[in-house]
Amino acid sequence: MSFVCRLAKDFLAECCNTDLVKEMTEKFEQKQNQLAEKLMIELKPAMDKYLQGGPKATRKTVLLLIKLDKVSQACDLFLKNQSASIKYLVKELKLIDNPFSYVQQLNRLVCNTLAETVQEFRKLFADYPLCFSVLILWASGEMKNYASLFIRHIFQSGLNLKATARCIKLAFEGAEVLMQSNLDLKFELEMLFEPHIEKMLDETERLLIDAMKLRIAEDRWRPYNLRSKARLNQYISEMNELHLDISDFVFGREDCRLSLTSQICSFARAVVPLTYELCELRQSAEFISNAIDQMLFHIWEIELNYLKDTPDCVPKEIYADNLKFCVGRLLPLCEKIYTESSSVKNFDLLKCLLEELASDLLTFYEPFHIPESKYEVLGENFEIKFFTDFIILFTVNLKLAKNHNLH
């Protein structure tokens, strides 16, 4: 094709007959335009034969258009063809109940097609650098389309925080893959996701705080009664899985109660998984890390404000045990999880909050360490472990005396 074009142009350039040159030039351009028109019709996205063939399926047609000096049209139609292909393949995706699996499929489809398109585009338009700005705009538009699908199926579907965090992580892993093709769309994805992640955090925080306030309002500072040894053993085992040992908070040989309140236990079972989920989200969405940190901060702020005020008519040992567990074990555990799971160095936001809200409770704080061996589940021959640290009791007594004098 290029040889024929060059031959025709050379002939016309050397011909001395002006009328003949004009006539032949018009006919040549007419034939050229007719051929280009047919090629462009063939490249239109409506042509089903290109929808499943990938970027390489249009190579011959695009190259012919380029040789006919229709570079702009070739670039435009090539990218429109890939957009239609992505749209067609997305429609072919099966809508499954598992959102993570759906995002996996969507991610693979969109990211692979984008990467392949960029690779093919570089081969086809290597001699036309101005076309690459069009490629960037096209890729940005496709990322917006991807984000719209993601937002609809993930953020607007009422998924819990854990499932959403996993899907967000997957989305940004796809963006990392595209960076290997020198296509950096991560920043754009961050901008598109940010308002929806913030909204999700706000809604999750509101629900958790509402539940906490309800339990706090109903709390009577009574020891948590599990009613049977089997349930007690199971509960201790479940708390061990969270790296929380509560065996030293059990009452007596035959009793099935904990010196911890149900409110404290409920808070522990909620805040530890929440901390892990926030860490997973923080690793994937570091651009919104401040909002994630603040959510954990606000949850603990509610609990510490509740604990700092000494309840009336509550045995000092019960109050001390709950402070010892919450401030001395649970809070340091959350700090440790955050430091190790989200790669945050020296995370002491919670300790700073403790110092600000309830400095008197700092006596209970100590760095967390996970025991090397698993705790033994309580059995029939459980030996009574009722030990209250002298310093802790002394601090509580001073605080109670101080409050009494104030009244």
Q: pLDDT per residue over 245-289, tens digit each?
A: 999 999 766 678 999 999 999 999 999 999 999 998 988 888 898
- Range 150-153 contact pairs with CB under 8 angstroms and sequence separation of 24 or more: 150/103, 150/106, 150/193, 151/192, 151/193, 151/196, 153/99, 153/102, 153/103, 153/106
pLDDT digits (tens, 9 = 90+) for 51-94: 566 778 888 888 888 888 888 888 988 998 899 889 988 888 87
Distance CA 17, CA 30 (A): 20
Token digits of residue 326? 């919450």
Q: Which pLDDT does position 239 carry in this prediction?
A: 95
Which residues, in sequence order, are bridge partners of residue 250? 258
The model's pTM: 0.76
Q: Which pLDDT does position 370 carry in this prediction?
A: 53
Contacts of 197 (CB under 8 A, 6+ apart): 155, 168, 281, 285, 288, 291
Ranges of residues in the chain whose predicted pLDDT is under 50:
1-4, 371-407
